[in-house]
Amino acid sequence: MATRIPAYRQAQMEIKRYIEAQKLGLGDPLPPESVLAEKLGISRPSLREGVKALESLGIVEARHGEGVFVSAFSFDTIIENLPYSIVADGKKLVDLLQVRAALEIGVLDQVADQIGEEDKKRLRDIATRMLEAAQRNEQFDQEDGEFHSTLFRCLNNAFLSRLVDLFWQVFRRMNKASDFDSEQWSLESTAKDHLHIVEMIERGDKAGLIKAHQKHFHGIFTRMKQAQGRTDGSASPAPQVQIAPISTMNLSGRLDGLGKA
């Protein structure tokens, strides 16, 4: 027997279909509630619930006394509404890191070609601050996030920059809710990985840059699996990173084995 779709979910789907069919864009108004409910063939209470749900996703915006408008897309609502049920799931943390690694490694060729001297100096400064903090046994989350945003901003791709930031924020949030403490993450080793990435950029060594980035993620996967092994009593061998020839179309070879036990 088919599962009955809740009325508010049906309302969500109908509202989205209406926006698409009418080709509504950023800032465009939807019809008044009574008119829209009649057009969509749904009740006004269900319509209100659907609007609330879509507003939480950043698809529409309800303005008091004005109506409902198509909203500008943003990842902020995704960050704010992450399901808390996944934050302590080690498997999902590994899965997320694999996606993040694929995203970052996949554009390093372009970064090497386009990054300017100012950003190179900034990366060197950030990585140095990370190492100094690590030697004091202090966390450097702010610098870590700043490093990755600086690394990719030369591509002038706002969507990519937001995705990189999204994955970094989600990963840090999930990591903090898990059992991987600062000692397990080896702060100094992580900081040195970032310095090595900077050195490869300064040399203009694309192959070295990709290897340095792979090494960084390899270390994270290794420590993560070691921590998981301590938690569940199992012993997981370190994942093996395989280096493939540089190709913007060949991500599978670069990432093969990164997250495999």
Low-confidence ranges of the chain (pLDDT < 70): 1-3, 75-91, 174-185, 227-261
pLDDT tens string 30-86: 999 999 999 999 999 999 999 998 998 889 999 988 999 999 777 666 666 655 555
- Tell me the pTM: 0.66
pLDDT tens string 80-94: 665 555 555 556 777
pLDDT in the model for residue 82: 55
pLDDT in the model for residue 90: 57
pLDDT in the model for residue 84: 53
pLDDT in the model for residue 81: 60
User: Which residue is associated with the tokens 């002038």?
Assistant: 156
